[in-house]
Amino acid sequence: MADEILNRYRESIDNIDAALIFMLAERFKITKAVGEHKAATGLPPADPGREQIQIDRLRALAKSANLDPDFSEKFLRFVIDEVIHHHRRAGADG
Ligand SMILES: O=C(O)C(=O)C[C@]1(C(=O)O)C=C[C@@H](O)C=C1
């Protein structure tokens, strides 16, 4: 038997997952431009000082949103590490 309640929840989950994908795509679009700029101007791929500011900010936002700050930090770390990997490739290619 179809579980209408579960189906409704899953519709919302699917919408949220789609929004996350679109937002990540926009983020990677802009970080691609950042990587090209860094490669062109000789800036290093990673900026640990900037990362710390981002982590502190997202941890505070996560707390106020009732989201686990450790999870938010792990998520940001995962995304930033991928960006740095792209930056390194852009530098090596350029
Ligand atoms: O702001 C930068 O300098 C970036 O390259 C972007 C970004 C990020 O994805 O937010 C990635 C790498 C840096 O270490 C810091 C931040």
Per residue in 5-59, pLDDT tens?
Answer: 999 999 999 999 999 999 999 999 999 999 999 999 999 999 999 999 999 999 9
Fold adopted by 4-93: Chorismate Mutase Domain, subunit A (1.20.59)
Judge whether 45 and 91 are in contact, CB under 8 Å: yes
What is the Cα–Cα distance from 62 to 49, expressed in whole angstroms? 20
The ranges assigned to domains in the chain are 4-93
ipTM score assigned to the predicted complex: 0.99
Banded model confidence at residue 94, pLDDT cuts 50, 70, 90: low
Query: What lines the ligand 1 site, CB under 6 Å?
Result: 31, 34, 46-47, 50-51, 54, 80, 83-84, 87
What's the whole-number mean pLDDT along residues 63-77?
A: 98
For a substitution probing ligand 1, which of 27, 28, 34, 37 has the most ligand atoms within 8 Å of its CB? Answer: 34
Name the residue with the closest Cα to ligand 1, atom 11: 80
